Amino acid sequence: MRHTRNAVAALLTILAMLLTACSASSGSDIAEAGRPVHLTFWSALRGTQEVVDEYNRIQHKVRVDFQQVPSGAQGGYAKLSNAARAGNAPDVATIEYPQLPGFAIDGVPRDLTELLPQSVRRKILPQALDLTTLDGHTYAVPVDIEPMMFFYRKDVFRKYGIPVPTTWAEFASSARKLKKAQPRARIGSFFTNGALHMAGFSWQAGGQWYQTSDDTWRISMADAPTRKVAAYWQHLVDQDLVRVEPVDSQQWRAHLQSGETVGYTAGAWAAGSLMNSTPGGKGKWAIAPLPQWDPAKPSLGTQGGSTFVVTKDSGHPKEALDFITWMVTSPDALRAKLSSGVSSAYPAVPSLVPVARKEMDTGYYSGQDIFGLFQESAKLISPRWKWGPRMTSTITSVEDGFAKAGAGSGTVIGALREGERRTLPDLKSLGLSVTTN
């Protein structure tokens, strides 16, 4: 009996010593402020480490433990889903707009409607906040929103006297003129892995792949505006006026570098990525607003952009949201992010645009006021768009079809229809209320 008691006492002493050792090593400079709250944060966004370091530097109440996760469905999203399923998701995570409804259906993000103060809401571009507000509940805070732009080689356009298109009709005629002047050059590309680009085009034309009303998902990935857009790109592909290749592929990059592809359409973020991937293009590239269908009624869709969520598993939702608010609204956070390298992500908080404008060296674009241009474009983002419940899988299905259409089997609109068909069984098996029209 006595032996046991002694043993227990010894064990407790060792345990206590260990505990003190642990707490001493975790941060002696904050001892007087009490134990800090630890938040875990997963993100695939580049430059996040710098932002986290800055936050950990300027305050001592919260310690953010950051983990960089791989981007894409197979990387960070799978990891997040599995962690949430196991009940140990990080406090804060990054989710892109298209994937947000899916995660909200799986119950990963926390409903922030009550927690997010009006003062923060007011700062965010309404269209961005709309995309993170699902069925009246806000599940995420947008960090950037990316209106689609047209990137082009101004030297080539000037050389052959080709007008920079302002409408899609002009885009096609400019494409024809360019091909005539320089048979090896093309004005842009149809991206065989660009279902999200197609979504952006459809969004601009007034398409609504997903709608929600009467507590029901209404899916129409081949609605009239989408059919118009699909037919337009089909025509460009059939006439060999655009390249057919995957975006971010080696061949696509090689064509950009060699000057055989003289333009491309993407979200505003692509300005920074172009500077990184094609350094030789300095002084040659410029940015224009995306062509319009009807210049009298200009409208735009987005491509890219991310949001931050507080997960349901988080034990510190208030601190997590404070951290997110700082990341999204503070000039310091944006500066830290920009210090990591070139980023042209367009902030979802318009009041931060002057910061980005000041920090960004636009020498690549010959000093063009690109953030001013983004600002004008962001205002045109149509507020009607909604993403669907299983976008990752829908996108993959559509892109399978695009690749086949590019290889001469099937059509652009056929791929979209097939994408819808392949999405439905999934949604029905989840018990969601779904109709097609």
Partner 1 sequence: MSTVISPGKTRKRAGTTPRTAGRTRPRRAGRRQQTLACVTLLAPFTALLVAVFLVPVGYAIGLSLFSEDHKGLGFGGGTTVFTGLRSYLAVLNDPSFVSGFGVIALYCLIFVPVVVIGALALALLLDSGLIRLRRTAQMLLYVPHAVPGIIAAVIWLYLYTPGLSPVIRLFAQADITIDFLGLHSVLPSIVNIALWSGLGYNMVIFYAALQALPREVIEAARIDGAGGLRTALLVKVPIIKGSVVMVCMFALIGALQLFTEPMLMNQATPMVNSRFTPSMYIYDAAFRRNNYGLASAASVILLIVTCALSYAVTRWAGRRERSAR
Q: Which of residues 360-399 bind partner 1 (CB under 8 A)?
A: 389-390, 392-393, 396-397, 399
409 binds partner 1 (CB under 8 A): yes
273 binds partner 1 (CB under 8 A): no
69/92 Cα distance (integer angstroms)? 13
431 binds partner 1 (CB under 8 A): yes
388/73 Cα distance (integer angstroms)? 15
111 binds partner 1 (CB under 8 A): yes
130 binds partner 1 (CB under 8 A): no
Of the candidate residues 123, 177, 228, 312, the single one contacting partner 1 (CB under 8 A): 312
313 binds partner 1 (CB under 8 A): no
| CB under 8 A, 24+ apart: contacts of 333-339 | 333/51, 333/54, 333/55, 334/359, 335/359, 336/47, 336/50, 336/51, 336/53, 336/54, 337/47, 337/48, 337/50, 337/51, 338/47, 339/47, 339/50
Of the candidate residues 99, 192, 314, 343, the single one contacting partner 1 (CB under 8 A): 192
From 2-10, 212-220, 224-232, 315-323, give the range in contact with partner 1 by CB under 8 A.
212-220
- For partner 1, give the closer residue by CB, 355 or 434: 434
Structure tokens at 130: 């709309």
292 binds partner 1 (CB under 8 A): no
Of the candidate residues 122, 137, 158, 180, the single one contacting partner 1 (CB under 8 A): 137
**One-letter identity of residue 179:** K
DSSP letter at 67?
Answer: E
Of the candidate residues 44, 45, 104, 380, the single one contacting partner 1 (CB under 8 A): 104
249/436 Cα distance (integer angstroms)? 34
76 binds partner 1 (CB under 8 A): no
203/285 Cα distance (integer angstroms)? 26
CB atoms within 10 A of CB 162: 23
From 35-43, 131-139, 172-180, 313-321, give the range in contact with partner 1 by CB under 8 A.
131-139
- For partner 1, give the closer residue by CB, 30 or 424: 424
429 binds partner 1 (CB under 8 A): yes
**One-letter identity of residue 181:** A
SS3 state of residue 90: coil
SS3 state of residue 18: helix
SS3 state of residue 282: coil
From 63-71, 129-137, 200-208, 314-322, give the range in contact with partner 1 by CB under 8 A.
129-137
44/94 Cα distance (integer angstroms)? 7
- For partner 1, give the closer residue by CB, 146 or 245: 245
Binding site for partner 1 (CB under 8 A): 73-74, 78, 81, 85, 101, 104-108, 111, 134-135, 137, 139, 192-193, 212, 215-217, 246, 250, 312, 389-390, 392-393, 396-397, 399-400, 402-404, 407-409, 418, 421-422, 424-426, 428-433
